[in-house]
């Protein structure tokens, strides 16, 4: 049982940066961004290509994240192009389409970056291995969980700080009431691009460290990222609440860990790994639809 919990903590904390990224687009920006299915393997691909090419694993990780930032930037620009002057913030068509197009385009980019569909990384020390070596500990089990916790706290602290800056407030308002913040003289188009870049940077960072920990980068590793991200966000909000921004960021991390724990438990109960994505999709449907369904039932 302990092994199961350690494993779920590890997975949950590895993927929490992706869930934080999805939180930024889905909740803060009100932009359901499907780019993440492509930017997660992009981070993994760039890191794998660079690390096997002899570059430092730190540099390879930073480059992976940087590639995600650029991917998000392109999604944002594509969205500007597709919405063409329409200011209607609730028009999700161009938002979904720009994400879908980027996700598809990134498949080719990722294959090009890797040169093949899978790169093994087992012979390469991960970023956390390197950190461990610096203080003479082997990064496994609880020690890896502790290292990931520290890493998560740093990222969470930066995000929390950013979302309370002048720019961060304007970013949140862009997703909350775009007309209002535009009428206060803010170029919301620019901020949306920034938010998308930030989000996909976090998602690519996840891809990079996941590839290192699992020992390979694979072209298919991004499939279902958006749904898993939504599951993490929603579970976090429901289980841990959303009192304030600072609190929600922790809730979302908690949601990521809870989600991985649920997967680990269902696998132990004999569910096939290939069935997990269907279960996740159902989970998201139930969680998203239940408030509306409840309303209908109460009103009827």
Partner 1 sequence: MTSPEGLRLEEATKVFFPRTPNEVTALDSVNLVVSAEDFITIIGSNGAGKSTLLNTISGTFLPDDGHVWLAGEDITANPEYVRARAIGRVFQDPRAGTAPSMTIEENMAMALLRCKPRRLRRGVTKRRRNLISEQLAPLEMGLEKRLNTEVSKLSGGQRQALSLLMATVAEPKLLLLDEHTAALDPKVAETIMNLTGAIVQDKNLTTLMVTHNMELALRWGNRLLMMHKGKIVLDVEREEKDTLTVPDLVQKFHDVAGESLAVDRMLLD
Say how many residues touch partner 1, by CB under 8 A. Answer: 23
Report if residue 1 touches partner 1, rule: CB under 8 A: no
Report if residue 247 touches partner 1, rule: CB under 8 A: no
Q: Closest approach of Cβ 250 to partner 1, in Å?
A: 17
Q: Among residues 179, 241, 289, 295, which is the contact residue for partner 1, using CB under 8 A? A: 179
- Burial of residue 145, with CB atoms counted within 10 A of its CB: 0-12 exposed, 13-18 middle, 19 or more buried: buried
Please give the C-alpha separations between residue 280 and each of 39, 64, 209, 259, 262, in angstroms, as whole numbers.
Answer: 20, 27, 22, 9, 10
**Closest by CA position to 251, among listed 8, 4, 20:** 20
Q: Closest approach of Cβ 79 to partner 1, in Å?
A: 17
Q: How far apart are CA 104 and CA 97, in angstroms?
A: 11
Report if residue 32 touches partner 1, rule: CB under 8 A: no
**Closest by CA position to 39, among listed 180, 221, 185, 177:** 221
* Tokens, residue 73: 């930037």
Report if residue 162 touches partner 1, rule: CB under 8 A: yes
Report if residue 197 touches partner 1, rule: CB under 8 A: no
Q: Among residues 18, 170, 231, 257, which is the contact residue for partner 1, using CB under 8 A? A: 170
Q: How far apart are CA 176 and CA 32, in angstroms?
A: 14
- Of 45-53, 171-179, 261-269, 279-287, the segment contacting partner 1 by CB under 8 A is 171-179
Nearer of residues 57 and 69 to partner 1, judged by Cβ: 69
Report if residue 184 touches partner 1, rule: CB under 8 A: yes
Residues in the site for partner 1, rule: CB under 8 A? 87, 162, 164-170, 172-173, 176-177, 179-188
């Amino acid at each position: 049982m302990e092994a199961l919990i350690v494993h779920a903590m590890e997975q949950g904390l590895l993927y929490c940066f992706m869930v934080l990224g999805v939180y930024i687009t889905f909740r803060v920006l009100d932009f359901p961004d499907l780019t993440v299915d492509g930017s997660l393997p992009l981070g993994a691909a760039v890191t794998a290509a660079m690390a096997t090419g002899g570059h430092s694993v730190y540099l390879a990780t930073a480059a992976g994240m940087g590639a995600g930032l650029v991917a998000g930037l392109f999604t944002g620009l594509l969205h500007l192009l597709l919405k063409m002057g329409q200011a209607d913030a609730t028009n999700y068509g161009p938002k979904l389409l720009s994400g879908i197009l980027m996700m598809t385009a990134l498949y080719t980019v990722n294959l090009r970056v890797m040169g093949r569909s899978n790169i093994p990384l087992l012979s390469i020390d991960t970023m956390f291995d390197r950190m461990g070596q610096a203080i003479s500990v082997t990064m496994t089990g609880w020690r890896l969980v502790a290292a990931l916790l520290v890493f998560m706290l740093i990222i969470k602290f930066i995000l929390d700080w950013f979302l309370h800056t002048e720019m961060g407030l304007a970013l949140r308002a862009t997703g909350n009431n775009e007309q209002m913040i535009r009428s206060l003289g803010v170029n919301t188009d620019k901020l949306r691009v920034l938010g998308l870049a930030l989000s996909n940077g976090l998602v690519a960072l996840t891809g990079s460290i996941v590839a290192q920990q699992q020992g390979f980068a694979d072209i298919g590793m991004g499939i279902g990222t958006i749904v898993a991200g939504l599951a993490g966000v929603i579970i976090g909000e429901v289980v841990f609440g959303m009192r304030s921004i600072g609190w929600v960021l922790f809730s979302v991390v908690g949601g990521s860990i809870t989600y991985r724990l649920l997967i680990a438990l269902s696998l132990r109960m004999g569910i096939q790994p290939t069935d997990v994505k269907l279960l996740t999709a159902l989970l998201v449907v139930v969680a998203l639809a239940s408030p509306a369904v409840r309303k209908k039932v109460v009103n009827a």
